[in-house]
Amino acid sequence: MKTSTALKKINLEISEFEERLFDHSIVEITDEEGVIIYANKNFCKISKYDADELIGTDHRILKSDEHSPEFFADMWDTIVGGKVWEGEIKNKAKDGSFYWVKTIIIPITDEKGIKNYVAIRNDITKEKEIQERLLRMEDELLKQNVTLLSEVEKKSGALLKSERLATIGTMASRIAHDLKNPLTIIHTYADMLTPEILAKLDPQDREKWFRLQTSVLDMNRIIEDVLDFARTTEIKKKKTSFLSVLRLAMNHVKPSYGIVINLPENDVSIKCDARKMEGVMSNLLNNAVHAVDGQGEVDVEFASDSKNLTIKIKDSGPGISEKDLDKIFEPMYTTKTTGTGLGLVICKSIVEQHGGTISVSNKPTTFTITLPLS
């Protein structure tokens, strides 16, 4: 049926011009019950139904699950009340595909009341798709923004921490540096006591002198640690026997009765900064001896392949609690009364400067270092 004929049938006065406009829209006319009595070619095209399949049914044939029952109730309330309803509807075509239409439903009345409804629709599927894509993108951007914000927060936290550490480092190194001179004087004067003078001291005073000497050495080591932490000097790599590095490190290990330290029998030649590696080994060995505290063993093992040397330092001590495993490589973390908590930080920094890695595991407590051979 032509639009004009259908409109005439329902006594709608419409100009030729407006009829032309209808040709570009999706037009549907229903009776007062909502039963379709007219569907133009655009309606058939978009819904993929033939006109005779649409006529005689109601608009529920096209219903998608997009809208709530309240949405349709509101629409019906409006048009039954004689008012024009406008909105956007998602419909389902005959082949199951969906389309969006901007809809205006006009109730046509005569003296007896509502006679028909004329629905004029325009396809807005593309706009909706773009809108949905934009919403998805906005959603994605919001999510990325949240991730970025937490990333920035984390990074600025780390920066703040490293800035704070740098300040502590500068202050500590200044204090450590200033303490070095008076300490050297104490050390020198204590050293001036010759064996003859010492022999004249009674055992108690001699013990005091020994304690003075070891305290001076302890202080000196702490100062060196702080200075090492503050100044990350460049490493100077040289071909070195790692067993000799380990033996030199043993000189700085506090001997403890009842603790056996087993050194490896094999040697590995490696390019490294021997002085710094000596410091790494002595800190790890001292930590192990301190952990064993009494009767026990510390084993040092070397293993190598064509590229790396792996050093394992195992001890029979109680190990490190799970919650502290991550913390022990953080500056100032110590469980010792005389510790600086810088030992492992310095070890890690030196090992990483060499392009290596350091890690720890329990049962038995094992510190594993891998170092590239060259």
Ligand X SMILES: Nc1ncnc2c1ncn2[C@@H]1O[C@H](COP(=O)(O)OP(=O)(O)OP(=O)(O)O)[C@@H](O)[C@H]1O
331 binds Mg ion (CB under 5 A): no
The answer to whether the CB of 332 falls within 8 A of the CB of 343 is no
Nearest-approach distance from CB 328 to Mg ion, in angstroms: 9
Could you give the CA distance from residue 299 to residue 313 in angstroms, rounded to a whole number? 6
Whether a cis peptide bond, with omega within 30° of 0, leads into 364 is yes
Residue 113 β-bridge partners: 110
How many residues bind ligand X (CB under 6 A)? The answer is: 21
Residue nearest to Mg ion (CB): 343
261 binds ligand X (CB under 6 A): no
Q: Cα torsion for 134, 136, 141, 143, to the nearest 10°?
A: 160
**Whose CA is closest to 7, among 21, 124, 111?**
21
Stretch that binds Mg ion, among 168-176, 284-292, 308-316, 348-356 (CB under 5 A): 284-292
Q: What residue 124 binds from ligand X, Mg ion, none (CB within 5 to 8 A, per partner kind)?
A: none
Q: What residue 272 binds from ligand X, Mg ion, none (CB within 5 to 8 A, per partner kind)?
A: none
Q: Per CB under 6 A, which of residues 186..205 are in contact with ligand X?
A: none
Q: Is 6 helix (H, G, I), strand (E, B) or coil?
A: helix
Interface characters, 342-361, with ligand X (x: CB under 6 A): xxx-----------------
Q: Is 320 helix (H, G, I), strand (E, B) or coil?
A: coil
Stretch that binds ligand X, among 48-56, 86-94, 147-155, 328-336 (CB under 6 A): 328-336
Interface characters, 205-234, with ligand X (x: CB under 6 A): --------------------x---------
Q: Per CB under 6 A, which of residues 65..104 are in contact with ligand X?
A: none
Tokens of 34: 């909502």
Instruction: Rank residues 28 and 315 by Cβ distance to ligand X and give the closer one.
Output: 315
Candidates 34, 87, 341, 372; binder of ligand X (CB under 6 A) is: 341
Stretch that binds Mg ion, among 62-70, 147-155, 163-171, 339-347 (CB under 5 A): 339-347
Q: What is the DSSP letter of 58?
A: B
**DSSP structure string for 64-130:** -SSS-HHHHHHHHHHHHTT--EEEEEEEE-TTS-EEEEEEEEEEEEETTEEEEEEEEEEE-HHHHHH
Residue 240 β-bridge partners: 270
343 binds Mg ion (CB under 5 A): yes
296 binds ligand X (CB under 6 A): no
287 binds Mg ion (CB under 5 A): yes
Instruction: Rank residues 62 and 246 by Cβ distance to Mg ion and give the closer one.
Output: 246
**Which helix H or strand E contains 143, and what residues bound it?**
helix 125-191
278 binds ligand X (CB under 6 A): no
Instruction: Rank residues 87 and 339 by Cβ distance to Mg ion and give the closer one.
Output: 339
328 binds ligand X (CB under 6 A): yes
Q: What is the DSSP letter of 62?
A: G
Stretch that binds Mg ion, among 76-84, 179-187, 342-350, 366-374 (CB under 5 A): 342-350
Tokens of 231: 């100044």
333 binds ligand X (CB under 6 A): yes
**DSSP structure string for 199-254:** HHS-HHHHHHHHHHHHHHHHHHHHHHHHHHHH--PPP--EEEEHHHHHHHHHTTSP
Sign of CA dihedral 34, 37, 41, 45: positive
Tokens of 102: 């901007």
Instruction: Rank residues 101 and 342 by Cβ distance to ligand X and give the closer one.
Output: 342
Nearest-approach distance from CB 282 to ligand X, in angstroms: 10
339 binds ligand X (CB under 6 A): yes
Residues of this chain that bind Mg ion (CB under 5 A): 283, 287, 343
Residues of this chain that bind ligand X (CB under 6 A): 225, 283, 287-288, 291, 315, 317, 319-320, 328, 333-336, 339-344, 365
